[in-house]
Chains A and B, each alone.
Chain A
Amino acid sequence: MAWTILIVDDHPSFRASARVVLESEGFSVVGEAVDGASALTECCRLRPEVVLLDVQLPDTDGFRVCAEITSHAEHPTVIMTSSRDGSDFGPLVSTSGACGFVPKAELSGERVQELLGP
Chain B
Amino acid sequence: MTGLRRALALVAIEGFVVGLVALAIILASDHIDDNAVNATLLVFVGWSFIGAGLYAWWRRPDNRFGALLTAVGFAYFLGALTGADAGWLFTIGVLLSSVHLAVFVHMLLAYPDGRIASRRLRKVLGAGYALSVVGPLPSLLFATPATLDCDCPDSAIRITDDRTLFEVSDALMSGLAVLIVGYVLYVLITRWQTASQPRRRAMAPILWSGVCLLVLLAGSLTSEAVNGPEIVSSATSVLGLVFFAVTPYGFLFGLLRSRVVQAGAVSELLQRMADAPDGSGLRQLLSNALGDRSLQVVYWLEDKQRWVYADGRLATLPEDDDRARAWSPVEHEGRAVGAIVHDRSLCEDPELVRSVAVAAGLSIENERLQAQLRARVEELRASRARIVEAGTAERRRLERNLHDGAQQRLVALSLSMRLAQSKLRNEPDAAEQLLAGAQAELGRALEELRELARGIHPAVLSDRGLRAAIEGLAGRSPVPVELAGTPRERLPAAVEAAAYFVVSEALTNVVKYANASQARVSVSRTNGHAVVEVADDGVGGADPGRGSGLRGLADRVSALDGTLELRSPQGAGTLLRAEIPV
Contact = CB atoms under 8 A, between A and B. Distances in A.
A13 B410 contact: no
Interface stretch (B412-420, B460-468, B545-553): B412-420
Contacts of A18: 415
Nearest to A108: B418
A20 B419 contact: yes
Contacts of B418: 21, 108
Interface in A17-38: 17-18, 20-21, 24
Nearest to B422: A24
B440 to A, nearest CB: 11
A64 interface: no
Interface size class on chain B is 10 to 19
Contact size range, A:
10 to 19
Contacts of B411: 14, 17, 83, 104-105
Taking each of A24, A105, A106, A108, which has the highest tally of chain B beta carbons within 10 Å of its own beta carbon? A105
Interface in A76-118: 83-84, 104-108
A6 to B, nearest CB: 18
A56 interface: yes
Interface in B399-423: 403-404, 407-412, 414-416, 418-419, 422-423
Interface string B196-212: 00000000000000000
B422 A83 contact: no
A24 B419 contact: yes
B230 interface: no
A16 B419 contact: no
A107 B408 CA distance: 13
Contact of A105 (B414, B419, B423): B414
Contacts of A106: 414
Interface string B429-447: 0000000000001000000
Contacts, number: 43
Contacts of B416: 17, 20
B412 A21 contact: no
Contacts of B408: 11, 13-14, 83
A14 B353 CA distance: 77
Interface string B333-344: 000000000000
A13 B416 CA distance: 11
Contact of A56 (B403, B409, B415, B422): B403
A13 B409 contact: yes
A17 to B, nearest CB: 4
Contact of B412 (A17, A24, A56, A84): A17
A107 B404 contact: no
A21 B419 contact: yes
A105 B415 contact: yes
* Residue from A56, A83, A107, A108 with most neighbouring chain B CB atoms (10 Å): A83
B403 A16 contact: no
Kindly name the residue among A17, A21, A105 whose own CB sees the greatest number of chain B CB atoms within 10 A: A17
A18 B413 CA distance: 11
Contact of A21 (B403, B409, B415): B415
Contacts of A105: 410-411, 414-415
Given A21-B418, A21-B419, A24-B422, A13 B412 contact: yes
A104 B412 CA distance: 8
A104 B404 CA distance: 13
Interface string B179-207: 00000000000000000000000000000
A56 B409 CA distance: 16
Nearest to B400: A56
A32 B482 CA distance: 48
Contacts of A17: 411-412, 415-416, 419
A84 B422 CA distance: 25
Contacts of B414: 104-106
Interface in B288-322: none
A70 B296 CA distance: 65
A82 to B, nearest CB: 9
Nearest to B414: A105
A39 to B, nearest CB: 18
A17 B410 CA distance: 11
Nearest to B416: A17
Contacts of B412: 11, 13-14, 16-17
Interface string A38-81: 00000000000000000010000000000000000000000000
A18 to B, nearest CB: 7
B527 to A, nearest CB: 51
B205 to A, nearest CB: 75
Nearest to A105: B414
Nearest to B404: A11
Contacts of A20: 415-416, 419
Contact of B403 (A13, A24, A83): A83
A26 to B, nearest CB: 13
A24 B403 CA distance: 27
A24 B423 CA distance: 10
Contacts of A21: 415, 418-419
B441 A13 contact: yes
Interface of A: 11, 13-14, 16-18, 20-21, 24, 56, 83-84, 104-108
Given A11-B408, A13-B408, A24-B422, 19 more contacts: A11-B404, A11-B412, A13-B409, A13-B412, A14-B412, A17-B411, A17-B412, A17-B416, A20-B415, A21-B415, A21-B419, A83-B403, A83-B408, A83-B411, A84-B403, A104-B414, A104-B415, A105-B414, A108-B418
Interface pairs A-B: 8 shortest CB-CB:
A17-B415, A105-B414, A104-B411, A13-B412, A17-B412, A11-B408, A83-B407, A105-B411
25 contacts: A11-B404, A11-B408, A11-B412, A13-B412, A13-B441, A14-B415, A16-B412, A17-B415, A17-B416, A17-B419, A18-B415, A20-B415, A21-B415, A21-B418, A21-B419, A24-B419, A24-B422, A83-B407, A84-B403, A104-B411, A104-B415, A105-B411, A105-B414, A105-B415, A108-B418
